[in-house]
Chains A and B, each alone.
Chain A
Amino acid sequence: KQEVTQIPAALSVPEGENLVLNCSFTDSAIYNLQWFRQDPGKGLTSLLLIQSSQREQTSGRLNASLDKSSGRSTLYIAASQPGDSATYLCAVDGNYGQNFVFGPGTRLSVLP
């Protein structure tokens, strides 16, 4: 059974700092991996999708990498801002829509 973990569970950084969030999964047979952010009381917003054949994806200040063989993905946030404060979740798709498994999330606080 696929299991997804995220480290750290919570992170607090000063504004302007670069940071890395980690996502690990136990079964490397994934179709893709997706990163989301969730603001308190809100739904999930898609940030980046990495297909299994890709190594990384970039969107603005965000960069996500994928290493299938080691079962790891990282989300890099450059020059963090208070507006980046949210919970970040990763999810792996093991069977084209039939087996999405989510990590527990990392709660990020960026202090002004």
Chain B
Amino acid sequence: DADVTQTPRNRITKTGKRIMLECSQTKGHDRMYWYRQDPGLGLRLIYYSFDVKDINKGEISDGYSVSRQAQAKFSLSLESAIPNQTALYFCATSDRSSPNEKLFFGSGTQLSVL
């Protein structure tokens, strides 16, 4: 079983719909992240959480919200999806006690907004 699991793996939705992407981890890490990947733009940080109920904005948080109700779960919501939110989304975790911020990624969710 994967240590960082993202669901769904693929999602097609329509403009204006609310959707939620889920992430769960069995690594016991306290820190969790949501990234977005677009071709040629690399990985951009949307939101991150260092502990339960701790929420911090990343560089591209507009149009997104997150929830961290448990250490192992971090969900990303698009309140009203728009086409330019079509992208590959990754959840990642890291361990506060590790010497540096080594991230462990899930397999990604490919989101298409029509």
Q: Do A and B come from one complex?
A: no
